[in-house]
Amino acid sequence: MHKVTSLEIAELAGVSQSTVSRALRKSPLVNPETRRRIQRIAREHNYKVDRSASNLRSQHSRTIAMLVHEESGMDSDINPFFVSMLASITRAAAARNYDVLLSFQQLSKNWIADYENSNKAEGIILLGYGGYTDYIRKIELLDNAHVLTWGPVIDGQPGHFVGCDNRRGGYIATRYLLELGHTRIGFLGDISDDCPEFKDRYSGYCDALLQAGLSVDPELQASSHSSMHSGHLAARELFSRGNGFSAIFSSSDLTALGAVHAVQKENLSIPEDVSIVGFDNIPSATHMSPALTTVRQNTVKAGEVMVDTLLRLVRGDYVESQLIQPELIVRDSCGPV
Amino acid sequence: MHKVTSLEIAELAGVSQSTVSRALRKSPLVNPETRRRIQRIAREHNYKVDRSASNLRSQHSRTIAMLVHEESGMDSDINPFFVSMLASITRAAAARNYDVLLSFQQLSKNWIADYENSNKAEGIILLGYGGYTDYIRKIELLDNAHVLTWGPVIDGQPGHFVGCDNRRGGYIATRYLLELGHTRIGFLGDISDDCPEFKDRYSGYCDALLQAGLSVDPELQASSHSSMHSGHLAARELFSRGNGFSAIFSSSDLTALGAVHAVQKENLSIPEDVSIVGFDNIPSATHMSPALTTVRQNTVKAGEVMVDTLLRLVRGDYVESQLIQPELIVRDSCGPV
DNA sequence: CTGAAAGCGCTTACAG
DNA sequence: CTGAAAGCGCTTACAG
């Protein structure tokens, strides 16, 4: 199959190659009628501008790279939330005429440098989970590169971040449970410095309790990372402590899914005996029974903000970390105490 | 930040630009010592070959495109199985020095043509679900393009496919349940022509039953596509028919997850009252309780086979559809009748 | 509004 | 084993 070039389109249209190039780039310099004719001929011949040539000449790849990194290897639960983010970012990029290169790997300084130095991508979006402290150490080495991370937004941290207002998310979830009359509310999630996002959700949980005149009982918190298995274990630990609780705020939906199993194993009903609120609004949250009340992180918006922010970074504009506002989605997993 | 070129590396190394190019491409023509020196200098200056220039000159993009398409829009369950495939394909491509462009969108003839005509990608991998009949109609329009699909392998179908030996998978799952003494085995999955993969799994199920001297009871089959919600409904339908069964073979793990919920809602225990076998071996299958016995589709192998097959297609080699052999993973969700 | 021309940074056939 | 040179297919400054 012969490859059509702009020169051939030019001959067919009876104009110069430069005019073809201008016409297809919608340059205002070209006579509208000429432009239309050229576009028609290009379409008829399935002509597409060669991206390598275009990139080389213009020194822009119009491509961003998306790196999904995991500390723990591939056999862990991949959080469906990240899959949504992946899709949103890809769509947002497409809408701005950018392509997305995908890579799954450990985070390495080389990988990042390679993508920019080789002109494969103008900037990089990092999605992942795992230890924050390790992570931030690697990010520090990269401050010249155009790298944007989905994650916790913390004052003074190196690098550029976009993330959810986790504290606010924790607050609205807990306040909702308080309004239903619950006073003994469990919290499922790792609140160490290595998980600042969960820690912030916990802070919001504490804010709500204190504001309601209640105290925070550390016995009601059980560590869990974002997986069904881990959530199941954490909920069981809460039960085994025997302190009694009528509601659970789970720092992720996957964790909540595991907790639901644990509750049902105790022959308790949701929401009659135990109310549960999750975090993320993954697709399964709608489909499980009872449908899960949860805190939605707006992935569509997040994807757009991330792409726009990255492109500003690429242009050299000043960029601040940004917070996406979460929102409570009320479904069937919570009831009055 | 100044961009380093091969010409500058050449000056630093005291050789010509062509020699730098050869050295970095590991050409045997270059004196080994010279090559090492050039490589060292390139490394020290963070030099990376400009991909646009390299691609333009060599007329190869060393990139494949991966299109994840959905009939049903983004708010459906994304099957974790596809996420594994995505990751495996990306890793396999990376191992072969290929980049992966990602796109989520409806399947369109244009999209495909654009990627090849613009030299963005040498070939395309299609991952998705939804109606097979619609799908095959679109594939038929593309037979010149380098497109490979993960899906059902059917004699005489247009296009190029790699898929799991679904019939065999259905057979080994059902045979295992038969060996445990089950004779009334439910099947969850859509067996219409629009879902040839599930239909094949059902054929394998029938094979095993017939081979054991049992007949196939259509009342024991309930339609379901691959989601928790749909699996939950299908299992409930099976219960409501009141025919009695002691085991369920579910045509996907997501469906099995929904069925587990339905069984537990009936106050029945797994595996004491009902045994369940799934299909896919998604990460949650390990983590749920009881851990799910399932048919594993080897996504790592599948990713490698897909990339290799696509690259052969790109080279113009003759390519046959290929089957990946499934394997039964025994966990805790099945017991003797 | 249009064309001729330069040049982006490589790869590789050709000559030695 | 090495270098000089052509050329991949565009974009865009320059001249008209």
> Are A82 and A135 contained in the same domain?
yes
Closest CA to B259 of B231, B288, B225, B240: B231
Q: Which residues pair with A279 in a beta bridge?
A: A295
Q: How many domains does chain B have?
A: 3
DSSP assignment of A280-324 equals E--HHHHHSSSPPEEEEP-HHHHHHHHHHHHHHHHHT-----EEE
pLDDT of res. B77: 60
CA–CA min distance A118, chain B (Å): 5
Residue A161: DSSP 8-state: E
CATH number, domain with residue B20? 1.10.260.40
- Antiparallel, parallel or unpaired: β A247-250 and B99-104: unpaired
pLDDT in tens, B40-81: 999 999 999 999 999 999 999 999 999 987 654 444 566 788
> Are B182 and B275 contained in the same domain?
yes
Q: From chain A, pick out residues whose CB is under 8 angstroms from the CB of B227.
A: 287
Residue B31 lies in a domain: yes
Residue B336 lies in a domain: no
> Distance between CA atoms of A239 and A231, rounded to whole angstroms?
12
pLDDT of res. A76: 57
Query: Which residue segment(s) compose the domain that A104 sits in?
Result: 63-164+299-325
> Distance between CA atoms of B192 and B179, rounded to whole angstroms?
28
pLDDT of res. A75: 47
Closest CA to B303 of B85, B83, B81, B101: B85
Chain A with chain B: Cβ pairs closer than 8 A = 147
Whether the Cβ atoms of residue B12 and residue B19 lie closer than 8 Å to each other: no
Residue B329 lies in a domain: no
Residues with Cβ within 8 Å of residue B292, at least 6 apart in sequence: B253, B256, B257, B260, B276, B277, B278, B284, B285, B286, B331, B332, B333
Closest CA to A151 of A136, A168, A164, A170: A164
**Residue B284 contacts A, CB cutoff 8 Å:** yes
Residues with Cβ within 8 Å of residue A21, at least 6 apart in sequence: A6, A49
Residue A57 lies in a domain: no
pLDDT of res. A73: 45
CA A239 to chain centre: 32
Using H for helix, E for strand and C for coil, what is the string for B291-333?
CCEEEECCHHHHHHHHHHHHHHHHHCCCCCCEEECCEEECCCC
Residue type present at position B54:
S
Q: Which residue has the tokens 């039964």?
A: B328
Residue B334 lies in a domain: no
pLDDT of res. A143: 63
pLDDT in tens, A225-284: 888 889 999 999 999 998 899 999 999 999 998 999 899 889 899 999 999 999 999 877
> Are A283 and A259 contained in the same domain?
yes
Whether the Cβ atoms of residue B283 and residue B293 lie closer than 8 Å to each other: no
Q: Which of residues 41-100 of B touch A (CB under 8 A)?
A: 46-53, 55-56, 61, 63, 66, 68, 74-78, 80, 83-84, 86-87, 90-91, 94, 99-100
CA–CA min distance B214, chain A (Å): 35
Largest CA-CA distance found in chain A, in angstroms, rounded: 85
Whether the Cβ atoms of residue A139 and residue A237 lie closer than 8 Å to each other: no
> Are A291 and A170 contained in the same domain?
yes
pLDDT of res. B74: 44
pLDDT of res. A133: 83
> Are B276 and B303 contained in the same domain?
no
Whether the Cβ atoms of residue B194 and residue B133 lie closer than 8 Å to each other: yes
Q: Which pLDDT band holds residue A224 (cuts at 50, 70, 90)? A: very high
Residue type present at position A279:
F
> Are A180 and A96 contained in the same domain?
no
Other CB atoms within 10 A of residue B327 CB: 14
Instruction: Look over chain B and give the mean of its residue pLDDT values, rounded to a whole number.
Output: 91
Mean pLDDT within A146-153: 92
> Are A98 and A13 contained in the same domain?
no
Query: Which residues of chain B are modeled with pLDDT < 50?
Result: 72-75
pLDDT of res. B72: 47
Residue A46 gets the label, from left (phi > 0), alpha (psi -120 to 50) or beta, of left
CA distances from A39 to A10, A20, A24 (A): 11, 8, 7
> Are B85 and B156 contained in the same domain?
yes
Residue B216 lies in a domain: yes
> Are B20 and B88 contained in the same domain?
no
Whether the Cβ atoms of residue A115 and residue A121 lie closer than 8 Å to each other: yes
Q: Which residue has the tokens 């067996």?
A: B191
CA distances from B89 to A127, A137, A312, B116 (A): 18, 29, 31, 19
Residue A101: DSSP 8-state: E
Closest CA to B55 of A199, A57, A222: A57
pLDDT in tens, A173-206: 999 999 999 999 999 999 999 899 999 999 999 9
CATH number, domain with residue A282? 3.40.50.2300
Residue A276 lies in a domain: yes
Closest CA to B258 of B290, B283, B234, B292: B234
Mean pLDDT within A47-51: 94
Q: Which of residues 111-170 of B touch A (CB under 8 A)?
A: 113-114, 117-120, 144
Which CA-bearing residue is nearest the C1' of D8? Answer: B57
Using H for helix, E for strand and C for coil, what is the string for A114-157?
HHHHCCCCCEEEEEEECCHHHHHHHHHCCCCCCEEEECCCCCCC
Whether the Cβ atoms of residue B326 and residue B165 lie closer than 8 Å to each other: yes
Residue A335 lies in a domain: no
pLDDT of res. A137: 82
> Distance between CA atoms of A128 and B80, rounded to whole angstroms?
16
Strand C, nucleotides < 7 Å from a protein CB: these are: 1-5, 7-13
> Distance between CA atoms of A130 and A137, rounded to whole angstroms?
13
Rounded to 5 degrees, what angle do the CA atoms A288, A68, B70 make? 50
pLDDT in tens, B3-26: 899 999 999 999 999 999 999 999
pLDDT of res. B75: 47
User: Percentage of residues in chain B with pLDDT exceeding 90?
Assistant: 70
**Binary contact (A78, B118; C-beta < 8 A):** no
Whether the Cβ atoms of residue B224 and residue B191 lie closer than 8 Å to each other: no
> Are B128 and B80 contained in the same domain?
yes
> Are B232 and B276 contained in the same domain?
yes
> Are A20 and A42 contained in the same domain?
yes
